[in-house]
Amino acid sequence: MSERIIEFREALREAMSEEMRKDPNIILMGEEVAEYNGAYKVSKGMLAEFGPKRVIDTPISELGFAGIGVGAAMNGLRPIVEFMTFNFSLVAIDQVVNSAAKMYNMSGGQYHVPIVFRGPTGNAGMLSSQHSQNFENWYANTPGLKVMVPSNPYDAKGMLKSAILDNDPVIFMESELMYGDKGHVPAEEYYIPIGKADIKREGHDVTIVSFGKIIKQAYKAADELAQENISCEIIDLRTVRPIDYECVIQSVKKTNRLVVVEEAWPLASISREIAYVVQKEAFDYLDAPILSITSSDTPLPYAPTLIEAALPNPEKIIKAVKRVLYRL
């Protein structure tokens, strides 16, 4: 594999462009994706290459263009629908949950809906409560949807290529705070399968499970804990529906302890789901209760000091790791 460093947004652009060159039925649509090159410049240059029939600027009407995308997917196209933020997907959630997710089942298998809904999720700085929410667990609760949340440029490209080729609707959630992140992305073609977690760091004292941009806090915590000779195994779920439970369970059987880090609110979160499954399937291997670190159970505030207090951070993760290690 070639050594090449590119930005997160470039990795996403390459994934879409590579698949669009192969298949003329793949289209990109959303607010500002064409003439403006994308709100976060993810689609920069794609209008010039593929033209206005395949890179389509839409009105500010998420319900409308999400519905057009679902109908197009049912009739032979493979749309990529970009939400400027998944906070705005709430306007379109009827089409996502009641149409895209259910059509294959309701049609008795006659209609696949090969569509990708993608865009940023979660906190993006001082954007306050209505633009700083996490919806991974919302969509993961819906049968018929697959939900992917990359944490780095390499994964983003391989995961998005797999999402575009899937015959079922995929929710692909990014982060505004990661678009400028740089990482190794091979020039050679590759795919990362849906539903496959990745062990980012090997360890033997405790398993830390996370996904999306908040996993960076786990890396920072693990670096500090390593200075105290505490070895953390870090698992990036990458897909939160379906979840790679087996990867997590096998790690817990080795480390005997589990901390789950997630940016969403605590109630009905992915972290609580993982905790339930692990204690059910690997209870006899646990030497301490499972702990989860989530955002505080409140709308995210505007003030940066309060944002820092509300979100998971290395200090909270370190404290949780020491609790499961030493039963503090």
Q: Is residue 131 annotated as a catalytic residue, yes or no?
A: yes
Residue-level pLDDT at 132: 82
pLDDT greater than 90 at residue 127:
no
Asked if residues 144 and 233 have their Cβ atoms less than 8 Å apart, the reply is no
Segment 310-315 mean pLDDT: 95
Strand partners, 209: 235, 260
Distance CA 154, CA 150 (A): 9
pLDDT greater than 90 at residue 283:
yes
User: What single DSSP character describes residue 13?
Assistant: H
Residue-level pLDDT at 328: 65
DSSP line for 122-145: S--SS--GGG----HHHHHTSTT-
H-assigned helices in the chain = 8-22, 46-50, 62-74, 93, 103-106, 136-140, 153-165, 215-226, 245-255, 270-282, 304-310, 314-326
CATH of 5-184, one of 3.40.109.10, 3.40.50.970, 1.10.3720.10, 3.30.1330.10: 3.40.50.970
**Count of CA atoms in the C-beta half-sphere (13 A) of 44:** 11
Residue type, 21: R
Residue-level pLDDT at 324: 96
pLDDT greater than 90 at residue 3:
no
Residue-level pLDDT at 131: 84
Residue-level pLDDT at 130: 82
pLDDT in tens, 23-67: 999 999 999 999 999 999 999 999 999 999 999 999 999 999 999
Segment 73-92 mean pLDDT: 96
Per-chain mean pLDDT for the chain = 95
Strand partners, 117: 81, 171
pLDDT in tens, 233-270: 999 999 999 999 999 999 999 999 999 999 999 999 99
pLDDT greater than 80 at residue 316:
yes
Q: Is 87 exposed, middle or buried (0-12, 13-18, 19+ CB in 10 A)?
A: buried
Q: Is residue 112 annotated as a catalytic residue, yes or no?
A: no
Q: Give 172's pLDDT tier (boundaries 50, 70, 90).
A: very high
pLDDT in tens, 188-212: 999 999 999 999 999 999 999 999 9
Residue-level pLDDT at 128: 80
Q: Of these residues, 19, 62, 82, 263, which one is catalytic?
A: 62
Segment 150-164 mean pLDDT: 98
Q: Give 2's pLDDT tier (boundaries 50, 70, 90).
A: low
Domain 198-326 architecture: 3-Layer(aba) Sandwich (3.40)
Q: Give 125's pLDDT tier (boundaries 50, 70, 90).
A: confident
Q: Of these residues, 10, 14, 82, 131, which one is catalytic?
A: 131
Q: Give 166's pLDDT tier (boundaries 50, 70, 90).
A: very high
Same fold, 5-184 and 198-326: yes
Residue-level pLDDT at 1: 61
Euclidean distance between the first and the last CA atom of the chain, given in angstroms as a whole number: 45
The structural domains of the chain, with segments of one domain joined by +, span: 5-184, 198-326
C-alpha closest to that of 17 among 128, 175, 164 = 164
